[in-house]
Structure formats: structure tokens, C-alpha cells
Amino acid sequence: MGMDVYGNAPISERGQYFRNNVWWWHPLWTYCESLAPELIPGNNLGHSNDGWGLNRRKARSLADKLAAAIASGHARAYAEKYEQRRRSLPLEPCDICAGTGHRANPPEIGPGPLLCNGCKGAGKVQAFESHYPFCVENVAEFEAFLRDCGGFQIC
Ligand SMILES: [Zn+2]
């Protein structure tokens, strides 16, 4: 599953298409939202694939904002703080076996006789939030797309 971002009027190959899987997309878009609230209103639909997007002028402005954030070190500092938090998230009890390490016969869930395939018997799993990565390189790739896309739609 992923988010496909299509350029409306690309002026280069890199402006035609940008793709992130959902794990990468949500943190990237959240960063864009936090960086450019004057371009991306709070009620935008950028986190779903409903065709929401920005026009050419706003896409270019967002590219400039991202480029400035990379140049100033803001993106790097954000990424470090983000990853530090992500790594520090505590493990959570496994839903499939209710934290016991042994599950009921599928499709039933809850405690039972089988070694749990959700947590490999540990009873705990990584926090859901920890599956969403963020890095400066991904910001730079999106910035390059934005600069040449001529506006975009998120599908
Ligand atoms: Zn389990």
C-alpha cells in the first residue's frame, strides 16, 4: 500500500511522480504541514489518497520551504529528534495473544495453546507508531519532485 503523488504539469521526469509507502508518507506529510501551514490548511486531505493537492505556485513554495529547512539544518534536527523518539517508544502488549505469548487457534484471537505468530511468543510487540520512519533524504526527494511537478494530486 502506498501514496502516489502525480504531477499536474511536470517540467521534468522527476516532476511526474513521487511515491512513498504509507509508513513513509505520513511523517513526511506531517512535516510539510508543520513547516507550511500557510500553504497547507489544517483541513487538508493529504493523509488520505483522495486526490488532494497543491497548485503549481504553492507546490513550488513548498519546495522552497523544504529546501530552506534542509539547508538550515531544521530538517536534520527534526529527523534526529523524531528517530530518537521512535526508538524510545516502549513495546506494547501483543493484541493477538493478549500479551501471553500463546494464542488461540486462528482465526480466533486471544490466549490459547499455540505459540503466537504475532509476537513470536514474546507477548510484546513494537509500538504501532514506531513503524513510521522519517529522514532528510526522503524530504529532499519530495522537494525535487515538488519543484518540477507543476502542482500535484495525492492519490
Ligand atoms: Zn502475541
The CA distances from residue 143 to 22, 68, 72, 110, 137, in Å, are 18, 10, 15, 45, 10
pLDDT, one tens digit per residue, over 70-89 is 999 999 999 999 999 999 99
CA of 150 to the centre of ligand 1 (A): 47
Contact assessment for residue 32 and residue 75, using Cβ atoms and an 8 Å cutoff: no
pLDDT, one tens digit per residue, over 17-76 is 999 999 999 999 999 999 999 999 999 999 998 999 999 999 999 999 999 999 999 999
Contact assessment for residue 3 and residue 145, using Cβ atoms and an 8 Å cutoff: no
Place of cell 495473544: 97
Extents of the domains making up the chain: 2-89+128-154, 91-125
What gap in Å lies between CA 14 and CA 100, rounded to an integer?
Answer: 49
Residues whose Cβ atom is located within 5 A of ion ligand 1: 94, 96-97, 116, 118-119
Residue 90 DSSP class: P
Confidence of residue 2 (pLDDT cuts 50, 70, 90): confident
CA of 92 to the centre of ligand 1 (A): 10
